[in-house]
Amino acid sequence: MRRRSLLGTTGFLAVVMTGVSGCGVPGVGAESADLQVYTARHYDLEAAFSEFTNQTGITVEFISGGDAELLERLKAEGEDTPADLFMTVDAGNLWNAARQGELAALESETLDQAVPEDLRDPEGSWYGLAMRARTVAYNPDAVDPEEFDAKDTYAGLADPKWKGRLCMRDATSAYTQSLVASLIDLHGRDRALEIVRGWVSNDVQIMSNDVLLLEAIDAGQCDAGISNHYYVAREQAENPDLNVSLHWASQEGAGTHVNISGAGVVEGSDNPEQARQLLEWIASEGQNAFVDASYEFPVNPDAEPEPRIAEFGEFKRMPLNAEAYGDLNAEAIDLLAEAGYE
């Protein structure tokens, strides 16, 4: 490189930078949408949002990312934030965002009617919009559903008869954490620790995601495991021969553990009215557009579940305690580490 090419390089850099920042800055050169959504929910959102736009003329734009990162970004941006809606998975996340003052309290009769009481914030800071159940999946060749403890299926898996037969998700998974948080909420820390220790002493095989877990059950590597219901539906849809069945946990006891995807209007939103409108639409008319593609359950009792998951049958769910999920999550992590759960 001679001097000339160094200058050339610098010049090129300057040109490229101007070009990119020009198109990269929203509001500069490009018309931005009416509503901006920060979302940690990772399913096909575009279909639902464009249907909303078709019906109302309100345009929606979103960026997705990790929940903790997006929350940190909301805090850093403060009142300058372009976000109108914060959408995330896990009730604990929603509870935390609200506690940290990032979500505005709403008063909406539509929402209060559409969303069951335990699936929304009493102050109206956030609302559950889709529901998932974390329950037992098993290989019907190896397990008779009678083997599951009908009162407390999760605790029942600590029984020595399951030694060497179990697959579960790792301790870093939010699914594992919120399940354990709900066990702490239900039974107290000591009993929850005993249960998790029981899983560990049953030589539970740890899987890094639910699909691997279901494949392991299908392959006969383990007999049963804990999975989200929609992974079972999705795998069944992709592979009709999949040798995995779903069993609703704890039906004669506290019910099956559920969690939600939900959203709240951002405190610094410039457009809270339209943001509320979007929330109301998703919770009512938009339910199926929002949940069906991902095989989640609608939160609104008036909406029909997608046919494939409707086949799993109706089930009794454990009431959701968002504050517990939020508050007890750190304790759940600590407990998992103490029990030696990887």
Partner 1 sequence: MSEAPVLTEPGKAPPSRRRPRGKHGFRKFGAGRPLWSFMVFVAAAAVAAPVVAVAVDGLTGLTGADLPRGLGGMLLTTLGLMLGVGTGTLVVGGGLAWLVTAYRFPLRNVLVWLLVLPLAMPAYILGFIFLSVFDVAGPVQAVLRAVLGAEAGIAQVRSLPGAVFVMTLTLYPYVYLLARNALLEQAPGPYDAARTLGAGRARALWTVLLPLARPSLAAGLALVMMETLTDFATVQYFNVKTISVGVYLVWKGSFDFQLASQLSVLVLLFAVAVLAGERLMRGRARFHQRGGRGQGLETVRLKGWQGWAATGACLGVLGAGFLLPALQLLWWAVGELAAGPVPLRAEQFADYLANSVVLAVMVALACALVAVVIGHSLRLGGGALVRGAAQLTTFGYAVPGAVVGIGVLLAFTVLDDLLEAVGVAGGTGLLVTGSVLGILYSYTVHFLAPAYQAVDASFAKVPPSITRSALSLGAGPARVLARVHLPLVRPGVAVALVLVSIDAVKELPLVLLLRPFGFSTLSVWTYELARENFWEKAALPALVIVSLAVVPVFFLFRQVRLTENRRKEH
Hey, is 205 helix, strand or coil? strand
Binding mask 286-315 for partner 1 (x = CB under 8 A): ------------------------------
**229 marked as binding residue:** no
- Work out how close the CB of 330 gets to partner 1 at its nearest, in angstroms, rounded to a whole number: 4
- Work out how close the CB of 17 gets to partner 1 at its nearest, in angstroms, rounded to a whole number: 7
Specify the DSSP class assigned to residue 243. Answer: -
**295 marked as binding residue:** no
* Residue 285 burial (CB count, 10 A): 16
Establish if 342 lies at the interface with partner 1 (CB under 8 A): yes
- Work out how close the CB of 107 gets to partner 1 at its nearest, in angstroms, rounded to a whole number: 27
Stretch that binds partner 1, among 2-10, 121-129, 185-193, 298-306 (CB under 8 A): 2-10
Helix (H) or strand (E) holding 297: strand 297-298
Stretch that binds partner 1, among 264-272, 283-291, 297-305, 331-339 (CB under 8 A): 331-339
Task: Provide the token pair at 209.
Answer: 């995601």
The binder of partner 1 chosen from 71, 111, 166, 291 (CB under 8 A): 71
**138 marked as binding residue:** no
The binder of partner 1 chosen from 68, 113, 123, 191 (CB under 8 A): 68
Task: Provide the token pair at 112.
Answer: 């209060």
The long-range contacts involving 235-243, CB below 8 angstroms and separated by at least 24 positions, are 235/211, 236/308, 237/308, 242/214, 242/218, 243/139, 243/140, 243/141, 243/217, 243/218
Establish if 16 lies at the interface with partner 1 (CB under 8 A): yes
Establish if 256 lies at the interface with partner 1 (CB under 8 A): no
Q: Distance between CA atoms of 217 and 201, rounded to whole angstroms?
A: 19
The binder of partner 1 chosen from 6, 47, 237, 310 (CB under 8 A): 6
Q: Integer distance in angstroms from the first to the last C-alpha of the chain?
A: 53
Contacts of 307 (CB under 8 A, 6+ apart): none
Binding mask 84-113 for partner 1 (x = CB under 8 A): ---------x--x---x-------------
Task: Provide the token pair at 176.
Answer: 């594992």
Contacts of 129 (CB under 8 A, 6+ apart): 87, 115, 260, 261, 262, 263, 279, 282, 283, 287, 290, 291, 299
The binder of partner 1 chosen from 50, 101, 123, 212 (CB under 8 A): 212
Establish if 69 lies at the interface with partner 1 (CB under 8 A): yes
List binders of partner 1 among 167-196 (CB under 8 A). Answer: 170-172, 174, 177
Residue carrying the six token digits 């948080």: 181
Contact 133, 297 (CB under 8 A): yes
The amino acid sitting at 255 is G
Task: Provide the token pair at 116.
Answer: 């069951």
The binder of partner 1 chosen from 32, 50, 113, 201 (CB under 8 A): 32
Task: Provide the token pair at 270.
Answer: 């410039």
The amino acid sitting at 42 is H
The binder of partner 1 chosen from 216, 242, 289, 293 (CB under 8 A): 216
Contact 199, 166 (CB under 8 A): yes
Query: Annotated binding site, which residues?
Result: 42, 230-231
Interface with partner 1 (CB under 8 A): 1-3, 6, 9-10, 12-13, 16-17, 19-21, 24-26, 30, 32, 36, 42-43, 61, 63-69, 71-73, 76-78, 80-82, 93, 96, 100, 170-172, 174, 177, 205-206, 208-212, 215-216, 218-221, 231, 326, 329-330, 332-334, 337-338, 342
Query: Annotated binding site for Fe cation, which residues?
Result: 42, 230-231
